[in-house]
Amino acid sequence: MDDTYYIGYTSDINIRMEEHKKGINCKYSRARGFKKLEIYYSTKERKDAMKLEAFLKKLTRANKTKLIENPNLLFDKYFIDKNKYNICLNL
């Protein structure tokens, strides 16, 4: 296992977490291991999930860590539309 952050979108978070834990359908977690889900954002529209994924992948590790520590930075610092996303800290 390493300490990288995996960022992705899914239509079913519970199924996706099981896949990551088992190393199924995910080359990333099969190769690097899976520790835990740090945070996830939910949205009604797939296109919004894809836009957010692309945005988050461009952040530095330091900025990703700051988002984990304070998920509202997504809205406060990066001006992402609060009306499109919900913050979810636990499954």
The reported pLDDT for the residue numbered 24 is: 86
Examine the pLDDT at 36 and tell me if it is beyond 90. no
Rounded to whole angstroms, how far apart are CA atoms 82 and 72?
9
Rounded to whole angstroms, how far apart are CA atoms 16 and 25?
9
Asked if 24 and 38 touch (Cβ cutoff 8 Å), the reply is: no
Alpha helices in 1-91 (DSSP H): 13-22, 27-32, 46-58, 61-69, 73-76
Angle at 27 between CA 46 and CA 41, to 5 degrees: 30
pTM of the model as a whole: 0.81
Please write the tens of the pLDDT for every residue from 44-91.
999 999 999 999 999 999 999 999 999 888 888 877 888 888 887 765
The reported pLDDT for the residue numbered 63 is: 94
The reported pLDDT for the residue numbered 46 is: 92
